[in-house]
């Protein structure tokens, strides 16, 4: 592991001081802005998120303003980011923040975890990146780094414990951001170990090519994403894009999603969106929720 008082940490943070990415959400400590960023970044590339995050916060800069908005407006604004369930959960979370926490995101872990759509990573990311709590965050990039440094597959509990133990007191923000960037830019699925600032402390690096990658199968480290082309996710996205313009008759769903000869699959797509609370079926047609 990375000793919070050892040379590996010094090497990591020195590297981060030079190459750490300048991302707009890293220039704020506003908990709501950070929550929005973290939700948007779930399975969406950074470059796509940046302009959408800025635009979203121009419309809804506080939990209260988002909670007061119609869900249909939020879903339209979210269009193109994928996984609209995230937008619905963010809208619900904003409402609960207003009702339960007087409009301000809480610092407490359990309180954050109680919000719709906020899981272990997102809750700790808000704690660290907004409140600079001395705890570790474990996203897919950090999980990959931790598994390789230790040289073995990790359970979720082990990965979190290692991440927590590696945090230098009072420097959680820069430590976690740097470790995240290391996984995103160097310790990738196909790593460039020669560019890694902590390569000499990495248990797997000296064995690279000789033993199985311990990141594969470790909790939190992503595998290959399921194919998008032709998936139900793609069909859901097409229908949601059409609903952003206006209601869609059920008989027209096949045409809208470019699948006119599979009414059963179209019905399944509509049912999944209804189940997620993203659309409603009224008078034999599908409409956006608001």
Instruction: Give per-residue burial for 226-263: e unless 16+ CB within 10 Å, then b.
Output: eeeeeeebbbbbbbbebbbeeebeeeebbebbebeeee
Cβ partners under 8 Å of residue 104, min gap 6: 31, 63, 97
- The secondary structure of the chain, three-state, reads CCCCCCHHHHHHHHHHHHHCCCCHHHHCCCHHHHHHHHHHCCCCCHHHHHHHHHHHHHHCCCHHHHHHCCHHHHHHHHCCCCCCHHHHHHHHHHHHHHHHHCCCCCCCHHHHHCCCCCCHHHHHHHHHHHHCCCCCCCCHHHHHHHHHHHCCCCCHHHHHHHHHHHCCCCCHHHHHHHHHHHHHHCCCCCCCHHHCCCHHHCCCHHHECCECCCCCCCCCCCCCCCCCCCCHHHHHHHHHHHHCCCCEEHHHHHHHCCCCCCHHHHHHHHHHHHHCCCEEEECCEEEECC
Please confirm, yes or no, whether 38 is among the known catalytic residues. yes
Catalytic-role residue among 38, 58, 99, 158: 38
Residues designated as active site? 38
């Amino acid at each position: 592991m990375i000793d919070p008082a050892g040379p590996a940490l010094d090497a990591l943070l020195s590297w981060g001081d030079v190459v750490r990415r300048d991302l707009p959400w890293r220039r704020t400590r506003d908990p709501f802005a950070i929550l929005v960023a973290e939700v948007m970044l779930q399975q969406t590339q950074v470059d796509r998120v940046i302009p959408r995050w800025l635009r979203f916060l121009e419309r809804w800069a506080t939990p209260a303003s988002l909670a007061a908005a119609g869900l249909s407006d939020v879903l339209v604004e979210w269009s193109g980011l994928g996984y609209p369930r995230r937008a619905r959960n963010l809208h619900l979370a904003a409402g609960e923040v207003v009702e339960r926490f007087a409009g301000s995101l809480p610092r407490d872990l359990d309180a954050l975890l109680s919000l719709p759509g906020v899981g272990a990573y997102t809750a700790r990311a808000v704690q660290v990146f907004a409140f600079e709590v001395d705890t570790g965050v474990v996203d897919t990039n950090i999980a990959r780094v931790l598994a390789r440094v230790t040289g073995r597959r990790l359970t979720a509990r082990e990965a979190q414990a290692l991440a927590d133990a590696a945090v230098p007191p009072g420097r959680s923000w820069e430590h976690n951001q740097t470790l995240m960037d290391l996984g995103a830019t160097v310790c990738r699925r196909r790593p460039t170990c020669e560019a890694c600032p902590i390569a000499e402390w990495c248990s797997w690096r000296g064995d690279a090519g000789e033993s199985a990658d311990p990141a594969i199968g470790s909790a939190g480290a992503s595998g290959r994403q399921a194919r998008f082309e032709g998936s139900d996710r793609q069909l859901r996205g097409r229908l949601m894009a059409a609903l952003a313009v206006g209601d869609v008759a059920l008989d027209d769903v096949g045409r809208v999603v470019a699948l006119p000869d599979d009414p059963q699959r179209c019905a399944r797509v509509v049912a999944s969106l209804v189940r997620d609370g993203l659309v409603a079926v009224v008078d034999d047609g599908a409409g956006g929720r608001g």
